[in-house]
Amino acid sequence: MKTKDDIRETLINVAGNIFSKFGFKKTTMDEIADAARKGKSSIYYYFSSKEEIFGAVVEKEATILEKKILNDINTTDDPKEKIRKYILARMNGIKNLGNFYNALKNDYLSSFESIEKLRIKYDKEEHNLIKKILQEGIEKNIFYIKNTDKTAKAIVTTMKGLEIPLIVKDNKYKIEDRLDDFLDILYYGICKH
Amino acid sequence: MKTKDDIRETLINVAGNIFSKFGFKKTTMDEIADAARKGKSSIYYYFSSKEEIFGAVVEKEATILEKKILNDINTTDDPKEKIRKYILARMNGIKNLGNFYNALKNDYLSSFESIEKLRIKYDKEEHNLIKKILQEGIEKNIFYIKNTDKTAKAIVTTMKGLEIPLIVKDNKYKIEDRLDDFLDILYYGICKH
DNA sequence: TTTTCGACTGTTTTACTAAAACGTTCCAAA
DNA sequence: TTTGGAACGTTTTAGTAAAACAGTCGAAAA
């Protein structure tokens, strides 16, 4: 017998499939209900609104991405390599999460408060993770960084810049091709020493 | 007596004011004509289409920005300082040019071919300018760079990332506050040496 | 000859409306 | 506890006639 949580999860998966295809606005509660073989109003027994079920979908995807990233960076001990793996995993994840993010943007120009809160939460986690890698690099005597907080901020912002071609759906853009040029600057800078 | 070119330029200025306020789509040829105290069809004596006069406006603004940038970076001989001045001038310029760029984006999702060509042209000029500064730095024994072309590409991409908060109109965002953290990484990297 | 513009053309946008679809609630049944 | 049919108020859509639009033309003014 299926528990309440099981059905909730099924609904999240079903809804996720439809949302990723049609975006938030063009997905109707009826469609989700039909695909889940339920009555439309039954969904309201599990979620209080369309926005809430969408938020649950996004949160699930983000959690999967986070796990994948953490897993990837733990395949190495070298902080330099960790940063590399981090950026690669993140960029590849963005391609998928970007679907949801974009779907939102195109539907409503302003996103929801609940999603915005999620974004801020993951931004903070991202910042802390980078910071941790940097500190690890300092301890291992590999990095020399005056202010890990500011440096992490700079790296995160730069990474967001790298992401744009992905979100704008520039298909010919290959991260791997450019990543090493970036890392080279990030690690060693351009000044003589 | 005003020459044809004089009137053309007046029209560009008048149109520029209106375009920057209302964007491409919401600006009508009648409005431009009225503001210039001309009949609408007279404008077609100077420009072949609405798109052409818009292109002329954008080109003029871009040229002004380019002059300002070139002027700024020539106030110093230090390549490091040149890059700093370049980014500052560029970012501040984007705030204004962003008006036009955004106006276009919000009106039509896809921009015009003619504007796209301009963008590509200025992207190339930007790349070459950065490359020139880098080479100057190498000659002066300040920079150590394996591949100036790839490095210039990396810097330009990073700069585009820095621009986003400006285009998204994040008013509290101050470039100056973060610029030096970026430059510190760009110049010296994060690795011990 | 160079420049201007009123009148015109075909197309696109707007303003309006009624009908359909939507998210959400309610409540009785399972 | 869980389900879904019916109903509610709101939003979106489809359709349409009128207005506004970009662009043309040819005659007149400079």
Give per-residue pLDDT as tens, A111-150.
Answer: 677 777 888 898 899 999 999 999 999 999 999 999 999 9
Interval B127-139: pLDDT, tens: 999 999 999 999 9
- Which nucleotide's C1' atom has the smallest distance to the CA of B29? D22
pLDDT digits (tens, 9 = 90+) for B137-164: 999 999 999 999 999 999 998 888 787 7
Residues of A in contact with B154 (CB under 8 A): 178, 181-182, 185
Quote the CA–CA distance of B190 and A162 in Å, as a whole number: 19
Residue B10 pLDDT > 60, yes or no? yes
The Cα A84–Cα B128 span in angstroms is 28
Q: DSSP letters of B125-182?
A: HHHHHHHHHHHHHHHTT-B--S-HHHHHHHHHHHHHHHHHHHHTT-TT--HHHHHHHH
Please check whether residue A43 is in contact with residue A53, taking contact to mean a CB–CB distance below 8 angstroms.
yes
Confidence tier at A100 by pLDDT (50, 70, 90): confident
CB proximity list for A4: less than 8 A, separation 6 or greater: A46
pLDDT at residue B169 in the model:
60
Shortest alpha-carbon distance between residue B146 and chain A (Å): 9
Under 8 Å between Cβ of A98 and A167:
yes
Which one of 3.40.50.2300, 1.10.357.10, 1.10.4080.10, 3.60.21.10 gives the CATH number of domain B57-188?
Answer: 1.10.357.10
Over range A147-154, report the average pLDDT: 93
Q: What is the pLDDT of residue A136?
A: 95
A118 touches B118 (CB < 8 A):
no
The spacing between the Cα labelled CA in A45 and the C1' in D2, in angstroms, equals 8
Residues 59-118 of A with CB under 8 A from B: 80
pLDDT of residue A176: 76
Cα separation, A188 vs B186, whole angstroms: 8
Per-residue confidence band for A94, with pLDDT thresholds at 50, 70 and 90: confident
pLDDT given at position B42? 92
Higher pLDDT, A10 or B24: A10
Minimal C-alpha gap between A134 and chain B (Å)? 9
Task: Quote the pLDDT of residue A172.
Answer: 62
Point out the residue among B145, B186, B192 whose CB comes nearest to the CB of A144: B192
Given pLDDT bands bounded at 50, 70 and 90, which one contains residue B13? very high
Q: What is the per-residue pLDDT across B64-121, written as a single tens digit (0 to 9) for each?
A: 999 999 999 999 999 999 999 999 999 888 877 767 766 655 554 445 677 778 888 9
pLDDT of residue A109: 46
pLDDT over 90, % of chain A: 56
Protein residues closer than 7 Å by CB to strand C: A 27-30, 40-41, 44, 48-51; B 3-4, 7, 37-42, 44-46
pLDDT (tens digit, 9 = 90+) per residue, A25-47? 889 999 999 999 999 999 999 99
Domain A53-188, CATH:
1.10.357.10
List of protein residues whose beta carbon is under 7 A from strand D? A 3-4, 7, 37-42, 45; B 27-30, 40-41, 44, 48-51
Give the CA radius of gyration of chain B. Answer: 20
User: What CA–CA distances, in Å, run from B40 to B18, B21, B36?
Assistant: 15, 19, 9
